[in-house]
Structure formats: structure tokens, C-alpha cells
Amino acid sequence: RELFGYIKGAFPEAASDKKGKVLLANGGTLFLDEIGEINPLLQIKLLHLLEKGIIEPEGSLEPIPVDVRIIATSQVNLAPLVRAKRFRDDLFFKINVLPIVIPPLRERKEDIPLLIDYYLDYFSLELGKKKKTMTSAAKKAFLNYSWPGNISELINVIERFVIMVPEDEIRPEHLSLLVEPRELQLTPQNNHILSLKEAILHFEKEYIHRRLMTNGWEVKRTAQELKVTPQELKEKIRSLGIRIAD
């Protein structure tokens, strides 16, 4: 329905006609994200559009001619889906006219510093926050991370940094709060084995910092959650050198 629309009365909730995205893009370009995930019925309708240049909104008996260019993306290779009969081979050949393969972010790390700076500026402006910067050590950690979610994951992390980090400068100690710590190597010092005491202090600092951020930096609420008094938590914050928002 989102793609091809419907007419009034096509189903009980259809109180009026609705143009689908294909018709709205008539004369232009339609971008289809993750085309490998569309269901078999939608694959048939899309193939019909590409072969005949017409659509039939739900409930309509009148085909509508459209002239639209399709750009489709997929994070997975569609060829195995075709072999497994999960994606139509005729549709695959229709859309696979000019394939453009974009390597995963982990294979084009030279783009990461540029993306960091761009999205720090973008989200600071978008969210009305003071512009944040990132230290070279923190950027190095970004370069060491594998980014399994590619650029979407990086954008999400940058947005959360802008929202949640109270300081103007993003440093390595902030990274484990928002990125899976097993995946992210924060500094070269992580290569050496910590003593048990060092490991406990590291975990304690990280855990308290994480809970403070989650609770909006409210010491009283965080103390209740951790089952300590506010005074005890304040002492921990001071002794561990945790910096919190005002």
C-alpha cells in the first residue's frame, strides 16, 4: 500500500484515495532501501511496474501508466537469495542493470574521520547543542572498530554522543558507554593484561558512568538503583575521577 497506494473503499479503513510512493515519484526516481526484504507479492508488483510501466492501486481496476527510475539497495548479496528461490530471478535481472558495490565501512577507514567531523557538526546543529569535537585517540578507536552496522551504526553512535556526552570533547573513556566494549579497542594500553584491582576499578568506573548517563546524571536516582547512599555514590564519583554534567 505504501508503494502502490489504494483507492477509497479498497478496505474498511480506506476512507479516501491514497497515492503510493511510485505514483508520487512519477517522472522522477524512486529509492528502494533493502529490496531483498520485500515479500513475494510485492516482488510481482514491482516486476509488473518495470516490465509494463503501469501500476494498479489496491482496489482499482484501472491501470495507471507511470514513468519512474528505480534505484535499489541491499546489504546482502541478492544472488544467493535468487538461488534459494527467495527472490525472483526475473526481478533480479531487471534491477541489476548497473550494480554499484560499496565496500563496508571497515574497508574504507579513510572515510571515518571525515564522517565523524561531518556528523558531529550536523547533529550539534540539528539538536541545538554546542559543537563537540573528538580527540585523536577517540578517532583512533573508531578506526579500530569493525562497524558491523556500517555507516548507519556510526551515524547512530555520533548522534548519541552529541546527546549524552556532557563535555564538549569526546574522549576514549566515553566510547565504551555507547559502543560494544568487546568490539572496541579503546587505546593501545588495552593490549596489556590488567591486574585484578585495575580491572575491578575499570569496570566500576565504566558501570557507574553508564548508569549516571542512563539516569540523566541524577545522583540520587542512580544511588537508589545501585543500592548505595547518595553520599557514598558521590565519594565513588570523586575517587574514580568520573566527570558528570552540571
Q: How confident is the model at residue 188 (pLDDT cuts 50, 70, 90)?
A: very low
Return the pLDDT at 177: 59
Return the CATH fold of 105-191: Helicase, Ruva Protein; domain 3 (1.10.8)
pLDDT exceeds cutoff 90 at 53: yes
DSSP assignment string, 64-122 = EE---EEEE--SS-HHHHHHTTSS-HHHHHHH-SS--PPPPGGG-GGGHHHHHHHHHHH
Measure CA 18 to chain center.
Answer: 30
- Percent of the chain whose predicted confidence (pLDDT) is above 70: 90
pLDDT exceeds cutoff 70 at 226: yes
| Mean pLDDT across 138-154 | 86
What is the amino acid identity at position 98?
A: L
What are the sequence ranges of the domains in the chain? Answer: 21-95, 105-191, 193-246
Separation of alpha carbons 106 and 228, rounded Å: 42
Quick: pLDDT tens for 28-40. Answer: 999 999 999 999 9
Separation of alpha carbons 220 and 36, rounded Å: 48
Return the pLDDT at 207: 80
Cα torsion for 45, 7, 24, 150, to the nearest 10°?
A: -60
Q: How confident is the model at residue 67 (pLDDT cuts 50, 70, 90)?
A: very high
Task: Report the chain's mean pLDDT, rounded to a whole number.
Answer: 86
DSSP assignment string, 180-218 = -TTT----GGGGSPPPHHHHHHHHHHHHHHHHHHHTTT-
Q: Rounded to the nearest 5 degrees, what angle is found at the Cα of 67, between the Cα atoms of 63 and 68?
A: 115
pLDDT exceeds cutoff 90 at 68: yes
Residue 169, SS3? strand
- Greatest mean pLDDT among 127-141, 194-208, 211-225 lies in 127-141
- Percent of the chain whose predicted confidence (pLDDT) is above 90: 42
Is the model more confident about 196 or about 75? 75
**Correct CATH for 193-246 of 1.10.10.60, 3.40.50.150, 3.40.50.620, 2.60.40.10:** 1.10.10.60
Return the pLDDT at 88: 96
- Encode 59-91: b = buried (16+ Cβ within 10 Å), e = exposed: eeeeebebebebebebeeebeebbeeeebbeeb
Return the pLDDT at 183: 42
pLDDT exceeds cutoff 80 at 180: no
Candidates 208, 240, 244; CA nearest to 226 is: 208
Architecture of domain 21-95: 3-Layer(aba) Sandwich (3.40)
Separation of alpha carbons 156 and 246, rounded Å: 25
pLDDT exceeds cutoff 70 at 73: yes
Separation of alpha carbons 210 and 194, rounded Å: 21
| Mean pLDDT across 217-227 | 87
Quick: pLDDT tens for 80-121. Answer: 999 999 999 999 999 999 999 889 898 999 999 999 999 999
Enter the pTM of the model.
0.56
Separation of alpha carbons 242 and 167, rounded Å: 12
Is the model more confident about 173 or about 59? 59
| Mean pLDDT across 113-137 | 93
Return the pLDDT at 111: 96
